[in-house]
Amino acid sequence: MSEISAVVSAHLRDVPDFPSPGILFKDIGPLIGDAQAFAAVTEHWRLRHQHRVDAVAGIDARGFIFGGALALALGVGFVPVRKAGKLPGPTVEKSYDLEYGSATLAVQRDALEPGQRVVVIDDVLATGGTARAACELIEEVDGKVTAFEVVLELAALDGRAKLSRWPVEALASS
């Protein structure tokens, strides 16, 4: 286990039966609540992506936490990938399937300049539908996805298979 994996794993909390019975929720609250652990995650990603990206995209909502911190550390802009209906102005939308239904994400049409290199960030990679939709949206507004980064991958759900077009790194796996 790498040093960053150990930091992440030590700062995750299991919450049984949330948000519904039978689900074991992986809570990142302790990770972002610990300044040193949060800084270690941000610094790990900063070193991986410095001079390689023009923007960071974070997926609604916990991806905003990590993505905003990384964008600031890299000195680049932040692109919010939000739930449909939450962004002003012209947007592009992408619907996708979840394990329990469907959802739609959106990004502002003018969020990027053509060809800008973008790393997409989220907290957990589960089935991959949300991550794939976010990466496809970035490409639809003429960005180039350089990587998809996630704090925790739920490997048994095989979400990585839906992201085969992009490099994927998970700091920890469960």
Respond yes or no: is residue 132 known to be catalytic: no
Nearest CA to 56 out of 151, 121, 129, 150 is that of 121
Tell me, yes or no, if 165 is annotated catalytic.
no
Answer left, alpha or beta for residue 16, where phi above 0 means left and psi between -120 and 50 means alpha.
beta
Residue 31: CB atoms within 10 A of its CB come to: 26
Cα 113 to Cα 13, 27, 161, 172: the distances in Å are 39, 35, 29, 32
Q: Say which of 48, 62, 109, 160 is annotated catalytic.
A: 62
- Indicate which residues carry an active-site annotation: 62, 99
